[in-house]
Structure formats: C-alpha cells, structure tokens
Chain A
Amino acid sequence: MEAAAVEKAAFSPEPHAASAAAPWLTQLRRGAFARFEELGFPTPHDEDWRYTGVQPITSTAWTRARHVQELRFLPPTGVRVRPLSQALLEAEPALGRIAGFARDAFAALNTASFEDAIILEILPGAVITQPIEIVLRSPDAGRPEVCYPRVLVLAGARSQAAIVQTFTGEGRSFTNAVTEIALGEGAILEHTLFQRESDAACHVHTLAARQGRGSRFTSHNVALGAALARTNLNVALEAEGAECTLYGLFVGKGAQHLDMHTTIDHASPRCTSRELYKGILDGAARGVFHGKVLVRKDAQKTDAVQTNKNLLLSRQALVDSTPALEILADDVKCRHGSTTGQLDAAALFYLRARGIGEEAARALLTWAFAADVAERIRVPSVRAEVERELGLRLTGAPFAMTA
C-alpha cells in the first residue's frame, strides 16, 4: 500500500492555470484524480490487465513533458477547432463524457492531467475530403518524460471526414492519451491511429467513440512502436443503424509488448460491426488481443463479425487472444474467430521452388499477412507511410508490393 501511494503521488496533477477559470473542468479533474487514486494502477489481478504488466510505467520517475499536438492540415471551411482555453469559456463541455474513467485508471489520470487538448468540431453536413492530421512527437529529452495528449472530435450530423492521429518519437517517453469521438446522426468518420513511438517508449491510449443513428465509423489501429503499448478502443453503437468497422495491426519484435483491447457495445437494434485485427510477433515480443462484443438486450438484429489472426515468427514470440462475446438479445447474427500460427510451410516452399530466396519468401508472406489490413487504410499518404514503416520493421528495408 505504501509503495503504491508513493507511485501515485508521483503522478499528481499540477495546478492548471486555465482550469481555474472553469469550475466544470476543476471539478472534472478533481473527480478524475480521486478516481485514479481509488483505482490505482492496474495489476495482473485486474481481468482486463491479466496479460499486461505496467511496471515499466510505475517504476519510472517521469518528468512532465510540454509536447504540443500538431495539427497538420485544417480545411478552410467545415471544421471548427477550439483550443482548450476557449472551450473552457463555453457552456457545454463534452470533454470527459465519451471516454469514461470510472474503471480506467489511465483515462482517469489523463483527465486529471491533460493540458493540451484539441477540440475538433466537424460542422453538420460538411464534407472534408483531405484528412486532418494530428501528430504528437516525443523527442529524446535525455530523461523519461510523460505527456497526456487529449483529443475530442465532434462529427456533426451527415458530416464526412478522415482523421489521422500519429504518435511518433525517439525518446524514452510515456504517452497517456485519450481520444473521444462523437458521431452525430448519419456522420461518416474514418479514423487512423498510427503508433510508431520509440522502442523505449510506453504508450497507453484510450479511444472512445459514441455513434448516433445511421452513422459510420471506420477505425484503423496500427501499432508498431513502443516497449509497452496498450490501446483501449471502445465503440458504443447507441442508435439504430449505426455501423462500425475496426481494423487493427500490431507488429512487435524484440521485447515489445503490444496489447490491443477493443470493446464494441451494441446498445441499439440493427447496428452492424465488423472487426479484423492482425498481430505479427517476432523475437520475444508478446501480443494481446482482447475483443469484447456486447449485444444488449434490446439490440435485436445486431450483425457482428469479429476476426483475430496472429502470426508468430519465432519460438519465443507469444500472443494471447481472447475474443469475448456477450449476447443478451435473441435475434442476432454474431460470429467470431481467432487463429494463431506460423508462416505456411507449403507456401514458403512454393515461393522458393520458383527461385525466391528463403528470407525474401518469409518477408513476402509476412508482408502479405500485414498488407491485408494496411491496404485498407484509405488515406494514401498514411497508407504509404504505414507500409514504409512496416517494411522497415519486417525486413529492414522499405517494401512495396507493386509489380
């Protein structure tokens, strides 16, 4: 208990000048920190953290970093961006309403501590063709640094947009991020998360989306970096006819630990969810996929398909895959499947029998496994960047499957 108290004290939020002006935020932060203190950091006894230890986070003396999330593109019309200071003055703060922190210590800590928040509002009916990019870079500061980036996206009714969030860096950093997304009626949003932090980094990101009637949310979650990375992706289908499609790709080697937790909450009838997550683990890397699909009692005519496929490239690599379907409605269509295996020996021999060297054949098959997900990223510049980084990590050289 004593030790835990010391750890938590190290994460105490600093007093925020800005929040002094906004009672709601002060209250939110106080509540969040109190909750964090109650919860404490997760231990292996927590069901949701059975396979992921957080010692690299709790045993490091972090210094607060002052990184600022960079907005790389902003369309001239159709989007309103508010800095936190301005949002504070406005009557209706949505912050903290989408990503709850009642059972999530890291989200609670972020809520208590974030300074830099980007609040993006896509105006109703706006069609934004070029992707909006948000980049957070953690440079090597020569000491361990922690930061708490926060993003809120409000996609207005019938709006259409693509958002790309990139986490990159060279440092020994701890990024504890929260992203909240609300999709209004009929909104279409494609969200790409590209985590390519340094192999010394710790990364925890809670991304929560709430979907309105007939809205469509597509998520690409690509995790390539960090020594320890955990993504919580929580999607709530809250009104009839909402659709979500979640693609995930996690690629680890060395001693990397990559943990992908997803929850799809079918809270309304006639909603559709599709999920495909793929993991590639080499060296002594460890992967975790936990995919929960909850179909509530009233969510009749739910259509849910979840697939997790993992490729282990070495004997030491390991993946824990736990799909979890909880179905309380009776008129639904739900499927899930999970496979973990090695490269197909027959395919390997087939390629070699055509003159392709063993290393190249392995790289090609591994690449093909990953490309199945990477190719679905619709923003060309991001897809190219993901493919480039994938090639470097898988084969040590850029790899492009073009003839």
Chain B
Amino acid sequence: MKQPLLEIENLHANVAGNEILRGVDLTVNAGEVHAVMGPNGSGKSTLAHVLAGRPGYTVTAGSVRYKGQDLLAMAPEIRAREGVFLAFQYPVEIPGVSNVYFLKAAVNAVRKHRGLPEYDAIEFLALVKQKAKIVEIDEDLVKRPVNEGFSGGEKKRNEIFQMALLDPSLAILDETDSGLDIDALRVVAGGVNQLRSPERSMIVVTHYQRLLNYIVPDFLHVLVEGRVVLSGGKELALELEDKGYAWLEKEPPAVAAVR
C-alpha cells in the first residue's frame, strides 16, 4: 500500500482564541481531487490556512503528515517549497512588487530547495509565456504589481497561474469560485483541470456545488462545526445542492464511509 500524500488526524485549531477545527480527519492520496464543502463558519477556509501555515492559526491537537513528514512543524515557506500550494480566496495586493519579479523569486526559491538550478531571466520568461496560456492570463498582468488593480477574475487567474508555475504536489483551492462570473469560472476551472495529474493532489474548498460541475472531484467531504460529518463521491454534491446543509447541522449523521 502506497503512503498517502496527506494524512490529517483529529486536527483541532484555534483562531483568535476560538476553536474552529474540532477534530478533522482527512486522507488524500497522490493524484486525487477532494472537495471540501460546508456552510459558512464550518472551518473550510481555516483548514486551508492551517495547512498552508498562516500565522495566528494555532493547532491545539492532532497531526498532519505530508509525504510522511510533520507538516505542522514546517514554516509556511518550507511547506510551499515542499509542494504545498494555497490558492487564496482573497489574493493580496502588493504594490511596488512586480508580479514577474515575485514569481521568479518564488519559483527559484522552490527550485533551489528541490536541488534544481535556478532559472535566469530568459528561461523564466519562456516558462511564463508557456504557463500563461493555461489560464489565458494577459502578459500585461504579469508585468504589473502583484494583484494591484486586478479584477476579481484576474486575481483568481493569477492564483492558478502561480500554481502552474510552482508545480505543487498538493494544491489547496480556497473558494476559488467566489466572486467569479460564469465565464471567468470556466477559464479558472479549465486551468485547474489542465493541471490535474497523477502526481498532483488537490483539495477544493467551496461553498457552492457549481464549481464542482467544472472541477469534478474524486471525493467530497462535508465540514460542519469543525468536523468532517459526511464523506462520499461526487454525487454527494448534488444531494447537498438539493437539501442544503441544514439537515447536517441539526442532526449530524455518523460519518459515512463511502470510500
């Protein structure tokens, strides 16, 4: 039996003194796409940020093993270099730092960590040209300051563009669909789908089933009050679309082991 890429066990986490995650269990194998759904405040985004190592999110119990290592012991930048990628729900604007400079610094930090030679400017720009096609990102955006003045759709495309450049083993998409119109959603989801591969796993965090029409997951988990209360296949999404989350909140069923 192959080792899972990611094993989350009984994960508890606090944000500003409030317990948000109350015992999350989740296992992701290489190449799998897992959707995590749930009502507002259920801890979906917190889970994403805890995995990425955001300061201020305190793990109080449980463990996360990534490629057999203790993920929680790693600084955020080490996680990124080891192949964990978080596509932000709200990508940050960084005036004064050009996107291309930032991306080159990031890609080279990752390459250095992996023992690969760093790209020079010419090699990097060639890579940018190639990856820009995946999300149809305008090369002008690449030269502008990071996310500054980008529309909502452009910001999300920039996230997936970064994912393409950084080539992660585990991509966590935090509400990548929020604020996107249907055309932008198609482009972003199309980019994500092109990046699916047997070497790359994904955790797709979303509030709405709509995204899962475009990014079809292998597994789906429902998070309620900081716990996974239901797991199943992609067809679960339709049931949730029908019934909403309320029935799960009132009477959490025993965790269904569909897998």
Contacts and interface: CB of A to CB of B under 8 A. Distances in A.
Interface of A: 344-347, 349-358, 360-361, 364-365, 367-369, 371-372, 401-403
A354 B162 contact: yes
B77 A356 contact: yes
25 contacts: A347-B93, A347-B94, A349-B55, A349-B76, A352-B53, A352-B75, A352-B77, A353-B52, A353-B86, A354-B80, A355-B106, A355-B109, A355-B110, A356-B109, A357-B109, A360-B105, A364-B105, A368-B96, A371-B96, A372-B95, A372-B96, A401-B97, A401-B98, A402-B121, A403-B101
A12 B80 CA distance: 64
Nearest to A349: B54
A191 B205 CA distance: 54
Contacts of A364: 97, 102, 105
Contacts of B95: 368, 372
Main secondary structure of the interface of A (DSSP, over half): helix
B91 interface: yes
A393 B113 CA distance: 27
Contacts of B94: 347, 350-351, 365, 368
Nearest to B107: A355
**Considering residues B76, B104, B110, B121, which has the most beta carbons from chain A within 10 angstroms of its beta carbon?**
B76
B166 interface: yes
Q: Which 7 pairs of residues, A with B, have the shortest CB-CB distance?
A: A368-B96, A355-B80, A354-B106, A350-B92, A355-B109, A352-B76, A403-B100
B81 A355 contact: yes
B150 to A, nearest CB: 13
Given A347-B94, A358-B75, A368-B96, 7 more contacts: A350-B88, A352-B76, A353-B80, A354-B80, A360-B109, A361-B77, A401-B98
A41 to B, nearest CB: 39
A355 B113 contact: yes
Nearest to B100: A403
Interface in B80-127: 80-81, 85-86, 88, 91-98, 100-107, 109-110, 113, 121, 124-125
**Considering residues B79, B109, B124, which has the most beta carbons from chain A within 10 angstroms of its beta carbon?**
B109
Contacts of A355: 77, 80-81, 106-107, 109-110, 113, 166
Contacts of A347: 92-94
Nearest to A348: B55
A358 B53 CA distance: 13
B166 A346 contact: no
Interface of B: 52-55, 75-77, 79-81, 85-86, 88, 91-98, 100-107, 109-110, 113, 121, 124-125, 162, 166
B80 A352 contact: yes
A357 B77 contact: yes
Contacts of B166: 354-355
B79 to A, nearest CB: 8
A251 to B, nearest CB: 15
B101 A402 contact: yes
A110 to B, nearest CB: 37
B12 to A, nearest CB: 21
Contacts of B81: 355
Given A352-B80, A353-B80, A355-B113, A346 B106 contact: no
Contacts of B88: 350, 353
Nearest to A400: B101
Contact of A354 (B54, B96, B102, B121): B102
Contacts of A350: 88, 91-92, 94
A400 to B, nearest CB: 10
B97 A346 contact: no
B80 A368 contact: no
Contacts of B92: 344, 346-347, 349-350
B209 to A, nearest CB: 27
A350 B98 CA distance: 14
A104 B129 CA distance: 59
A27 B86 CA distance: 73
Nearest to A354: B106
B70 to A, nearest CB: 18
Contacts of A367: 96
A353 B76 contact: yes
B115 to A, nearest CB: 14
A215 B142 CA distance: 38
Contacts of B162: 354
Contacts of A354: 80, 102-103, 106, 109, 162, 166
A403 to B, nearest CB: 4
Contacts of A357: 77, 109
Contacts of A351: 94, 102, 106
Nearest to A350: B92
B125 A403 contact: yes
Nearest to B124: A403
Given A349-B55, A350-B88, A350-B91, A356 B105 contact: yes
B149 to A, nearest CB: 15
A334 B96 CA distance: 26
A344 B77 CA distance: 17
A318 to B, nearest CB: 24
A345 B166 CA distance: 22
